[in-house]
Amino acid sequence: TGVRGHFQAGEKVQAYRDPRTDLPVYSLYGDVRKPTEEMLTGIDALVFDLQDVGCRFYTYLYTLLYALEAAREFKLPIIVLDRPNPLGGEIVEGNLLKKEYTSFVGYPIPIRYGLTIGEMALYFNTIFEIKAELTVVPLDGWNRDDYRIEQSISWVPTSPNVPKVDTAFVYPGTCLVEGTNLSEGRGTALPFEVVGAPFIDGEVLTQALDGLD
C-alpha cells in the first residue's frame, strides 16, 4: 500500500510529503479511511487510479467505495481510471458476505467478483445507491478471458505481498488462512503461495490435500 507500494498490509500510514515531488500525501490507510473535506478542498475532481487484484477482501475496493461516498458528500465529480482484473472477467466464485459483517475488508459481494475496478465503481454507485457524479475512463486492450495480463502490461506490485500476477491468482484462497494459526507466507519470497506452521508435517499435509482432488 501507499503511493509507491512499499507499506505493509495492516501498517497504519499517516499523512506525509512525498520526498520526490514534495506534494502532500493524505493517507486513507491509517486512522482515516475516507477522504475528508480538508483533503478535498480546492480540487476540481477526485481521480481514482489503483490496480486491484479481483478479490473481495483486498481493501483497495473499499477505498474506492469510500471515495465515491466522499465525492457525493462534497459534491465533487469522481473519475475512475479502469484497469484489468488479473483474475479475468468470466468467472465469479465464492460466498456472499452477510450484510452484518460489512467492513473495510468486505462488502456483500462474491470473493472472486469478475469485474474490473471501473465496473466495480459503477456497481457500488448503483447497487449501494451512492449516486456520486461518476465517470469511468475505459481501459483498452483487455478481454474478459485474459488471465495473463503480464503478457500485455508490466505488473507493478500492488503491495509488498502481491509482487506478481501469480500471487493474485492464489490470494482469494490462501488469504483465508489469515484467520487461523497458520502462516500464509507474508514476509517470504512466496507470499500467499506457501502455507505452513512449525507443527505441520509437510508430507502429511500434501497427502491429505492430494486426497481431496
Check residue 78 and report its DSSP letter: E
Alpha carbon 201 to chain centroid, angstroms: 33
Number of H helices, E strands in the chain: 5, 7
Residue 54, in any domain of the structure: yes
Going by C-alpha positions, the residue among 95, 91, 112, 124 that lies closest to residue 172 is 112
Look at residue 146 in the predicted model and tell me its pLDDT.
78
State how far the Cα of 34 lies from the Cα of 70, in Å rounded to an integer: 7
CATH of the domain at 38: 3.40.50.12170
Give the structural domain span for 55. Answer: 16-154
Mean pLDDT, residues 145-165 taken together:
78
Mean pLDDT, residues 159-164 taken together:
90
Alpha carbon 10 to chain centroid, angstroms: 13
State how far the Cα of 94 lies from the Cα of 193, in Å rounded to an integer: 19
Residue 8, in any domain of the structure: no
Going by C-alpha positions, the residue among 158, 156, 160 that lies closest to residue 7 is 160
Extract long-range pairs of 36-43: CB within 8 Å, 24+ residues apart: 36/70, 37/74, 40/70, 40/74, 40/76, 43/76
High-pLDDT (> 90) share of the chain, %: 72
pTM: 0.88
Indicate the number of domains in the chain. 1
> Cβ distance 130 to 151 under 8 Å?
no
> Cβ distance 58 to 9 under 8 Å?
no
Reported as type and span, the H/E element at residue 126 is helix 117-127
Is a pLDDT exceeding 60 seen at residue 162?
yes
Residue 48, in any domain of the structure: yes
Per-residue model confidence as pLDDT tens digits over 13-46:
778 888 889 988 898 988 899 999 999 999 999 9
Non-local CB neighbours of 56 within 8 Å, separated by 6+ positions: 94, 97, 106, 107, 109, 110, 111, 112, 113, 172
Residue 139, in any domain of the structure: yes
Look at residue 149 in the predicted model and tell me its pLDDT.
62
Look at residue 137 in the predicted model and tell me its pLDDT.
99
Mean pLDDT, residues 164-182 taken together:
93
Look at residue 4 in the predicted model and tell me its pLDDT.
60
Per-residue model confidence as pLDDT tens digits over 74-124:
999 999 999 999 999 999 999 999 999 999 999 999 999 999 999 999 999
Alpha carbon 37 to chain centroid, angstroms: 24
- What's the burial of 120, exposed, middle or buried (CB within 10 Å: 0-12/13-18/19+)? buried
